[in-house]
Amino acid sequence: MTVLYLANLTEGMDKRFAGRLWDLPSKIYSDITLLYPGQALNPPLLLEKLDRLGYRPVSGTPSKPGEMRFSKTALEIYLHEFHSPFHEQKSASVWVGLKDSRVTSITRSDMDTKGAILELEPEVLMLYYGPDRERRQLISIGQLPAHLLHAVMAAEDRGFYGHSGIEIRGILRALVANLKEWEISQGGSTITQQLAKNYFLTPERTLSRKFKELLIAGILEYKFDKDTILEMYLNEIYFGQEGPVSINGIGEASRFFFDKSAADLSVSESAVLAGLIKAPNQFSPHRNPERCTSRRNEVLEAMHKNEWLTAESLEEEKARPVKVAPYRGYHQQAPYFMDYLTGQLTSLYSRETLSSEGLSIFTTIDTEVQSAAEKALKKGLERLEAANPSLKRQNPGESLQGAVIVMQPKTGYILAMVGGRDYGVSQFNRAVQARRQPGSAFKPFVYLAALDQYTPVSMLDNSPQTFMVNGQPWTPKNYYAQAEPEITFRKALAQSQNLATVNLAYGMGLERVTQIARAFHFSAPDDPYPSMALGTLEVEPLSLARAYCVFPADGVLPFPLSIREVADTGGKTIESRHATIERLTTPAKAYMMSDLMRDVVRDGTARSLKQMGVTWPVAGKTGTTNDSQDAWFVGYTPNLVALVWVGFDNNDSIKATGATAALPIWADLMKALPQYVSGEWLPLPSGIETLTICADSREIAREGCCPRIMEEIFLSENQPETLCRQHECSSNLEKVWNGIKKILPSF
């Protein structure tokens, strides 16, 4: 019976343990970074990126992989080696000439060609260990300094290399203590027992579990040598919780607490980490520096007692202050995007596969854009709170929030996603999970739907009216009461006039609003209501950002893409994701909307963008909902679409508009990304006619007859065909007379 039980236990353990031994977490990568001649750079963002990639600045010429030197005139970098299914990077030195933060030339030691493109390897954004978001950097015992092993043994199990997995004295001592309280309260476990406990068993403290633990420890000692057990232990052990992430393993702990690799830990630092194992949160150097220091000293004393530390070294080490890396919250890169990605990945692979089969997952994220988006949002929200202290909240969980999404319109690549202000405080991903009213940011879809019947010069009724909705009167208002009673289609959108937009929606039929909303994959009710035209349908920010891609992408809606490639441990591609597109409108209509939305930035609600330093061609639309519950700006160039949302989770008023709250964040973000600014605007597609029309009658201008003329673009299928009827010249003589009147007005 006993033999059978043991065999069963061994088999079960083998299955789980052998698997665990070879478990490899999946690595999630950013996209590669390109450097090419003529490219404008944002040096601080690039340097941060190089630091994250493990490139360290040196004073001389970089001579080893991972070294770099940066100056105003050049970036010299010795590349790491990197292999992926689509990126083969040999270790080589590269010279990137710079002038005024622009790349002038690129020269590689391994290639003759000048002017080559430099592709920097992708960054590891996360290691996927499991659903609980553990952080771990695996180490091998050979890399670790002896004093670290000694510190851990001194703190947890000084006789580790001598016992056979179980220490009878420890067990007896624990038994006596536990019998007094009639429950298991004291551990007294060896490293092997702790490992057994960590791997296989639930945290409850019962006698039968203790018994099982002893048996497993025995089997572990039988099957593995001491070094392997210690290595597994060091990679497994828990070092505390930082926000939503648990820190596991000595490699991760040394990176987090001391910002260095475990191989470089000093004696004192080793003792701090070894001391943490007993009660990670109680002895945390961030939370309890005094208790951490005294616990470290205990460990140092124990090391000395075991002759692993001389008396002089002991005094020397004890005198050292505990210096830890500044508390960074737990800065995980693009944490909201990681959650979004995990959702996408788990539809492809099981969590077990992801946490054990060592897949390489290459994403679309550009960490420079991500970092710029995070910074712009943080700064913008702080600026709003400083300008209006009533927006501040005592509880950080209720504070002013925001979301930013940056996409590439033609391919739908998600370059950045920020789902909130602080992932440590709130993991709710507002970029994809929040459903908010877009307000006026929805209007472009209404105007797009109206393009078959209306032209940019069509006049819209902008006077106050009361509509009956389900038997109830509804009187929409314009933001500014003194708006013109009649306004052109173009101006109504630029100035975001509500009354004109509702009248427009009525004019073309409300069902057209429902149709267009559904075409853009927004959910819309079967029974349309007029306020839909003013953006009262709730949308997820990602859907809205995606919908705006249609305008710079010639009328094509891209699928939002986050995963590009998945490769197995051998580097073989097992999954490729490509841009998939769906035609929603004609290139001419898409262009027309972009032209109309350029006026939003030129003369309309977003005209302050120019003063904020955005001087290149941009189109976009602001949005503010009732009582300023939401502030939006969605803006784009031919290369990027970026959406900014600001609001409170509980719908409190932010007391600001899209132009004052969201637009400055957008401007900060775009200014930080010179590498994405081409300065170009969209080319004129077929199906657009530019006509000279009379500014008074808005009909085709009669040359020489109409006193005020202007140019306007029209869809070929919907353009004015009548000549101006207000200014009819009966003969050439009259035209001449008109000309003379202009030349000699005072005669």
Partner 1 sequence: MELRKYCLLFKWAAMGMALIFLTGCSILAPKPAPKPEKTEVGRHLPPKEISPEPVPKTVEEPPVPKPLLPKKERPAEPPVNQQTPMALASVTFSQQGQAYLKNNKPDEAIRVLERAVNLNPRNGENYFYLAEAWIMKGNASQAREFNRLAEIYMKADPEGMGRVQSQKERINKLK
Active-site annotation, residues: 156, 440
**Residue in 51, 227, 627, 680 binding partner 1, rule: CB under 8 A:** 680
Q: Which of 124, 177, 574, 691 binds partner 1 (CB under 8 A)?
A: 691
CA-to-CA distance for 553 and 516, rounded, in angstroms? Answer: 17
* Separation CA 596–CA 607 (nearest Å): 13
Residues 112-151 binding partner 1 (CB under 8 A) are 117
Strands (E), 532-640: 556-558, 563-567, 573-576, 581-583, 619-624, 630-636
Question: Closer CB to partner 1, residue 56 or residue 708?
Answer: 708
Phi, psi of 483 (to 5 degrees): -70, 155
How far is it, in rounded angstroms, from Cα 703 to Cα 480? 37
Query: Is residue 430 within 8 Å of residue 473, measured between CB atoms?
Result: no
Using CB under 8 A as the binding rule, whether residue 671 contacts partner 1 is answered as no
Question: For residues 400 and 388, is the Cβ–Cβ distance under 8 A?
Answer: no
Binding of partner 1 by 740 (CB under 8 A): yes
- Part in contact with partner 1 (CB under 8 A); list of ranges 136-144, 152-160, 175-183, 692-700: 692-700
Least distance between partner 1 and beta carbon 450 (Å): 18
For partner 1, which residue of 157, 213, 630, 712 counts as binding (CB under 8 A)?
712
Instruction: Assess 86 for contact with partner 1 (CB under 8 A).
Output: yes
Out of 89, 297, 629, 639, name the contact with partner 1 by CB under 8 A.
639
Q: Which two tokens stand for residue 243?
A: 């926000």
- Find the shortest distance in angstroms from Cβ 700 to partner 1: 6
Quote the least distance from Cβ 564 to partner 1, whole Å. Answer: 7
Strands 56-57 and 67-70: parallel
Examine residue 83 and tell whether it contacts partner 1 (CB under 8 A).
Answer: no
What does the per-residue mask of binding to partner 1 show for 480-519, with x meaning CB under 8 A?
--------x-xx----------------------------
Cα–Cα distance list, 148 to 143, 154, 157, 544, 656 (Å): 11, 10, 13, 52, 55
Q: How far is the CB of 125 from partner 1 (least distance, A)?
A: 19
Does 685 interact with partner 1 (rule: CB under 8 A)? Answer: yes
CA-to-CA distance for 598 and 494, rounded, in angstroms?
8
Report the site for partner 1 in 546-605 (rule: CB under 8 A).
552-554, 556, 564-565, 573, 576, 578-583, 587, 595, 598-599, 602-603
Looking only at residues 437 through 476 of this chain, which bind partner 1 when binding is defined by CB under 8 A?
457
Instruction: Specify the residue, 149 or 682, whose C-beta has the smaller distance to partner 1.
Output: 682
- The residue (of 77 and 701) whose beta carbon lies closer to partner 1 is 701
Question: Pick from 21, 172, 176, 736: which binds partner 1 (CB under 8 A)?
Answer: 736
- Break the chain down into helix, strand, coil percent, rounded to 5: 40, 20, 40
- Is 681 one of the binding residues for partner 1 (CB under 8 A)? yes
Q: Is 101 in the site for partner 1 (CB under 8 A)?
A: no
Helix crossing, 2-21 with 191-200: angle to 10°? 80
Which of 316, 484 has the CB closer to partner 1?
484
AA identity, residue 487: I
How many Å separate Cα 671 from the centre of its chain? 18
CA-based nearest residue to 276, from 137, 152, 190, 140: 152
> Using CB under 8 A, which residues numbered 21 to 60 contact partner 1?
34, 36-39
Torsion sign, CA atoms 585, 587, 592, 594: positive
How far is the C-alpha of 548 from the C-alpha of 560, rounded, in Å? 12
- Applying CB under 8 A, the span of 187-195, 429-437, 537-545, 728-736 interacting with partner 1 comes to 728-736
> Which of 315, 300, 305 lies closest to 268 in space, CA to CA?
300
From the list 557, 522, 520, the residue with the least C-alpha distance to 537 is 522
C-beta of 514: minimal distance to partner 1 in Å? 25
Residues in 356-415 at the binding interface with partner 1, rule: CB under 8 A = 408-411, 413
Q: Tell me the Ramachandran region of residue 625: left when phi exceeds 0, alpha when psi lies from -120 to 50, beta otherwise.
A: beta
Span near partner 1 by CB under 8 A; candidates 135-143, 252-260, 426-434, 729-737: 729-737
Is 708 a binding residue for partner 1 by CB under 8 A? The answer is yes
Among 470, 683, 745, 746, binds partner 1 (CB under 8 A): 683
679 is a contact residue toward partner 1 (CB under 8 A): yes
| Residue (555 or 658) nearer to partner 1, CB | 555
Residues 6 or more apart from 236 whose CB is under 8 A from it? 195, 198, 199, 248, 249
As a residue count, the chain comes to 747
- Binding to partner 1 by residue 733, rule CB under 8 A? yes
Interface with partner 1 includes 431 (CB under 8 A)? no
110 binds partner 1 (CB under 8 A): no
